[in-house]
Structure 1
Amino acid sequence: MDATEQGTPGRSATADREIVVSRIIDAPPELVFEAFTDVRHLSRWWGPEGFTTTTRAFEFRVGGEWDFVMHGPDGTDYQEWITWTELAPPERIALLHGETRDDPNAFESILRFEPEGAATRIEMRTVFPTKEQRDEAAEKYHAVEGGRQTLNNLATYVTGIARKGAQG
């Protein structure tokens, strides 16, 4: 999937190693960003459709870690680990994501939260160590569709919170 930085013609230097998924969410950036900062939020929306999450450890700060298991709808458990590498509330989160702390195949993700009127455009740019790992994630693990489903789950969760806040 080709994607380039805004205003930059042509392909980015990592285009052959990245997957980019974006979505507009009907909530302000501060609220969408907040959904990433607290494990009680994350556990309600993280992952593709049909997946649930069990957290073992969570510390949202640069250098902090999220150690968790994703449970697939078919009963398969997936050990996951994330460390936060950059936090710029409410505009940007960068992280390293693998199966474990020393996973040589860990990949980087950068999430951008940009205001779009009263809504937020969230972009999730994932950069894999190699093109082959990107291709495997896309083909074997359906990473593009999984990313879209994850952002859809986030949108459903956050807009529900926004509606409750507007009513209360």
Structure 2
Amino acid sequence: MSEYEAASGLRTNVDGRVLVMERTFHAPQSLLFQAYSDSKQLSDWWGPQGWETENRTFEFKPGGTWLYCMRCMDKAQGDFYGQESWGKATFNEIVEPEKIVYTDVFADEKGNAVEGMPKMEITIEFKEKEGNSKLVVISEFASEAQLKEVLGMGMIEGFNSQLDRLDEHLEKHQ
């Protein structure tokens, strides 16, 4: 088990094949949930700094799918500039404004899973905390090796950058 806390307040915990990431936002629970459940809002902040997200499909309901593409638009990111990263999520459970559970895979532009890439079962919890909201993201992988693979791809750093964008988004919408 390993733990880490970033200057931004992101706390992470790796235990076997499970990664837990937590961060508190100065926004009400309902607003935080809406940032995840509204396609327009999600595309405004999803992805690391310097990346833009296009939601090709977004069916926010159990059994619905979300097909998205993140594109690096920042020339300062060198080899990443112009790169695309497609993902497909299938929503399994939605409890407004408390929880979203979905399966996430690396995909191609048609939504087909990329062979050999990790699949994640993700549970997002939105917890009211004294006028603020605590976001808890639990990502479960099929194996410890798959978790180590995405950690090696910079998952925590990218997610922390993404949450900085979410924080800015929430500030604008309060």
TM-score (norm 2): 0.81
| Closer, same or farther: CA 2–102 of 1 in aligned 2, 3 Å | farther
Please list every run of at least 4 consecutive aligned residues from structure 1 whose deviation after the TM superposition is greater than 4 angstroms: none
**Which structure 1 segments of 5+ residues have no match?**
4-11, 163-168
Q: For 1:35, what is the secondary structure of its paired residue?
A: helix
Q: Which has the higher strand share?
A: 2
Mapping 1:85-164, distance limit 5 Å = 85-100=92-107, 103=113, 105-139=118-152, 141-162=153-174
Q: CA RMSD in A?
A: 1.9
**Which structure 2 segments of 5+ residues have no match?**
4-12, 75-80
Between the aligned partners of 2:15 and 2:127, the Cα distance in structure 1 is 21
Identity across aligned pairs (percent)?
27
2:84 is aligned to 77
Q: For 1:99, what is the secondary structure of its paired residue?
A: strand
Between the aligned partners of 1:121 and 1:156, the Cα distance in structure 2 is 16
2:8 is aligned to none
Q: Which has the higher contact order (CA 8 A, sep 6+)?
A: 1
Bigger Cα displacement from structure 2, 17-26 vs 101-110: 101-110
Between the aligned partners of 1:78 and 1:65, the Cα distance in structure 2 is 17
TM-score (norm 1): 0.83
- CA deviations on 1:96-144 (whole Å, 9 max, x unpaired) are 11123563632111111111111101011111111111001001x1011
1:65 is aligned to 65
Q: Contact between 1:19 and 1:144, CA under 8 Å: does it hold in 2?
A: no
